[in-house]
Amino acid sequence: MPQPVLNLADLENTLNQVDDLFYTYFLAALLIAVGIYVTIRTRGVQLRHFGSMLRAVASSRTGAAGGISSFQAFAVGLAARVGIGNIAGVALAVVAGGPGALFWMWVVALIGMATSFTESTLAQIFKERGRDFTFRGGPAYYIKNGLGSRLWGAVFAGLCIVSVGVTVVMVQTNSLAGVINATVPEVSPWMVGVALVLLTGPVVLGGLKSVARVTEVVAPFMALAYVLVTLVVILMHLGEIPAVFGQIFRGAFGMDQALFGTAGGILAAVLNGVRRGLFSNEAGLGTVPNAAGTATTSHPVRQGLIQAFGVFVDTGLVCTATGLLILLATDTYQPGNEGLVGAVLTQQAVAEHLGAWTTWPIVVLIFVLVFSTVLGCYSYSQVNVNYLGGEKRAEQAFGILLTAAAFAGTVLTLPIVWALTDIALGLLGVINLVVIVRLFPWVRGTLRDYEAQRAVGAEPVFVGHGNPELPGDVLPGVWEPPVDPAAPYTLDPSDATPENVGS
């Protein structure tokens, strides 16, 4: 009797169904519930401290003392957040959910800022000192040092390395090659792969500091350039902006059937906006804390606020820019009409506004956005390689593996990998959300400590031992009391003793 043959098409369909149900309902609901919970428990930290976020980002390039600065950690997180999803994902949301999807993206970004603040603050509280006076932190570390479970930390680390460091890289570069080849047929996918290898290899083989130096320039510059393009378009269509915002709000609440997307109805607007928003800004998935935990800063809350601002930049600025570009392009986009989708829709919208000459600049922009996302993925994964005991040779081996994955993604077809990547990232999110709720008393106490120092006009400095606001003491060798109050936070080489060096 012949053995049944595995039908890859059926497997792909099954995985896609599981992926859709898992993301659209269970994980989205869990992310929103946790976001609302931490928003209430922090008394709306993302609103009360928005000014503090701006000041923290403005002053975040100094004080690293040879480590990774707060701004570099912010830039790494921004590099991973702002990628092809901001161009293609928003376009898909607007096509399927109509203009109202953009409103629901704003809502989940506002909630997600509190979640990002919470997980990034935890990454700082429970970080460990690594080599070269840099730090390592993230969910694996706060699971181990906060909950006392090295095993579950290792489970998270392993999932993160495979999903973020390999498969996410492959699907990102696969999308990039497809978009470029469709736009400029003369550029073959393997050419895109070679270009990525030549750019990525030297950077990732230099380690986390090398990645941080590149992303602190590339990520903010490209996000700013994209937003500036939108500002030019807005100025060209200034009189139409009120009507566009009217479409967004009417579509969000199902008040105008003509504004329904291809999926139809208010539910489509909500689900598409929520899903695309949540997974564009990554709040709660446990990925960004891997970057946040590497920063050298004077207080965990400071880095938490900086990373929360990253959610605002990703969704409030970059995703909004894409949405407005599309909605103002009335010849390219019509509600309820599939027509063009994904990144091609965004490209054509820019061309409608500014002319066909923009095709190549947009291709270059998409290429650099994916390149910066790959660097962000390296940073996230490398922290977890270190957690599992990987030292210099393991770091270099992983850098080679990630570079190979970046090339492979451009030349392979990856339908099943796409679905598996989504599911793996979702599992990371579930683990992380459960953990941050359990460890929230640490965040609440750390925030009280920060606010108490600010209330008396002091520049907040965190002490992790004997602090009455905390449930206990943190890991030795990281948040010790400052020796000189006039210079409260320095990296002392004598602290890097074997017992103080993290794995």
Nearest to 95 by CA among 293, 340, 282, 313: 340
pLDDT at 260 over 70: no
Tens digits of residue pLDDT in 31-44: 889 999 999 999 99
Q: For residue 383, name the pLDDT band (cuts at 50, 70, 90).
A: confident
Calculate the CA dihedral of residues 138, 139, 142, 143 and round it to 10 degrees.
-150
Which residues have C-beta within 8 Å of that of residue 402, sequence separation ≥ 6? 165, 166, 169, 200, 204, 374, 377, 378, 381
Instruction: Say how far apart CA 294 and CA 296 lie, in whole Å.
Output: 7
Residue 440: per-residue pLDDT = 95
Tens digits of residue pLDDT in 238-248: 888 888 888 88
CA terminus-to-terminus distance, the chain = 53
Q: What six digits make up the tokens of 240?
A: 């139409």
Q: Which amino acid is at 448?
A: R
| Beta carbons of 93 and 252 less than 8 angstroms apart | no
pLDDT at 54 over 80: yes
Residue 487: per-residue pLDDT = 47
The predicted model gives 152-164 an average pLDDT of: 89
CATH topology of domain 10-471: Amino acid/polyamine transporter I (1.20.1740)
pLDDT at 81 over 70: yes
- Percent with pLDDT over 90 in the chain: 17
Q: For residue 126, name the pLDDT band (cuts at 50, 70, 90).
A: very high
| Beta carbons of 114 and 42 less than 8 angstroms apart | yes
Tens digits of residue pLDDT in 388-441: 876 667 777 878 888 888 888 888 776 666 767 777 888 888 999 999 999 999
The DSSP annotation for 396-443 comes to HHHHHHHHHHHHHHHHS--HHHHHHHHHHHHHHHHHHHHHHHHTHHHH
Instruction: Say how far apart CA 169 and CA 503 lie, in whole Å.
Output: 25
| Beta carbons of 205 and 404 less than 8 angstroms apart | no
Helix residue spans in 328-414 (DSSP H)? 342-354, 359-387, 392-411
Over the range 423-448, which residues count as b (16 or more CB within 10 Å of their CB) and which as e?
A: bbbbbbbbbbbebbeebbebbbbbbe
| Beta carbons of 286 and 142 less than 8 angstroms apart | no
DSSP SS3 for 128: strand
Return the axis-axis angle of helices 139-147 and 359-387, rounded to nearest 10°.
30
Q: Which amino acid is at 32?
A: I
Q: For residue 263, name the pLDDT band (cuts at 50, 70, 90).
A: low
Q: For residue 95, name the pLDDT band (cuts at 50, 70, 90).
A: confident
Instruction: Say how far apart CA 314 and CA 281 lie, in whole Å.
Output: 6
The more confidently predicted of residues 103 and 270 is 103
Distance of CA 102 to the CA centre of its chain: 18
The more confidently predicted of residues 448 and 340 is 448
Residue 64: per-residue pLDDT = 55
| Residue-averaged pLDDT of the chain | 80
Residue 34: per-residue pLDDT = 93
pTM for the model stands at 0.85
Q: For residue 497, name the pLDDT band (cuts at 50, 70, 90).
A: very low
DSSP SS3 for 98: coil
Q: What six digits make up the tokens of 169?
A: 């890289």
The predicted model gives 296-308 an average pLDDT of: 90
| Beta carbons of 140 and 126 less than 8 angstroms apart | no
pLDDT at 291 over 60: yes
Highest mean pLDDT among 260-269, 320-329, 472-481: 320-329
The more confidently predicted of residues 437 and 210 is 437
| Beta carbons of 436 and 118 less than 8 angstroms apart | yes
Residue 373: per-residue pLDDT = 83
Q: Which of 132-136, 149-153, 208-212, 498-502 has the lowest mean pLDDT?
A: 498-502
Write down the residue that tokens 């979640």 correspond to: 115
The predicted model gives 186-196 an average pLDDT of: 83
